[in-house]
Amino acid sequence: MRVSLFVSGCRNRCKECFQPQTWAFDYGRPFTEETEEELLSALSPEFISGLTVLGGEPLEPENQKALLPFLAKVKKQLPDKTIWIYTGFTFEELSSPSCRACTPEIKDILSIADVLVDGRFEADKKNLLLKFRGSSNQRLIDLKSTLEKGKVTLWEGSSRGLG
């Protein structure tokens, strides 16, 4: 069981996006200190395995700025909880200077998170049998292993099930 944070704002405009209302950066509730406290408290119980961040696009540059300090706080206060991030950017795009999401914050975000589900939703590759992703182009990336080995390593699950 996990806690989910849906981050508003997305410029990816995937065809057949399941929630285009989240493209607007002002959709939903403002992200405040109270929101952070609410999330930290929801994450605390032992039966919660971690935080899943999705959207919208959590890695739009504006969103990264608010997300990094919050993720750092989660990792510091609750080090046993895993952090999953869903993004329309590929892992490779995130380290390419020509990509808008390649910001001063991105390296730190990727080193704090545990799993990155990357790539846009592609309607022609949609497959309802896939676990934890919508289309077969998307990957579940084990970030710790990937950063250690210097090459993309896929997440293979854990003894706690999800994360």
Residues that bind ligand SF4 (CB under 6 A): 10, 12-14, 17, 22, 55-57, 88, 120-121
Alpha carbons 18 and 100: distance in angstroms, whole number: 23
The residue (of 58 and 75) whose beta carbon lies closer to ligand SF4 is 58
The residue (of 72 and 130) whose beta carbon lies closer to ligand SF4 is 130
Indicate the SS3 state at residue 111: helix
CB of 57 to ligand SF4, least distance (A): 5
The residue (of 100 and 160) whose beta carbon lies closer to ligand SF4 is 100
Alpha carbons 120 and 15: distance in angstroms, whole number: 9
Alpha carbons 83 and 149: distance in angstroms, whole number: 20
List of residues 6+ apart from 132 with CB closer than 8 A? 117, 140, 162
Q: Which two tokens stand for residue 71?
A: 């993720």
CB of 124 to ligand SF4, least distance (A): 14
CB of 45 to ligand SF4, least distance (A): 28
The residue (of 50 and 88) whose beta carbon lies closer to ligand SF4 is 88
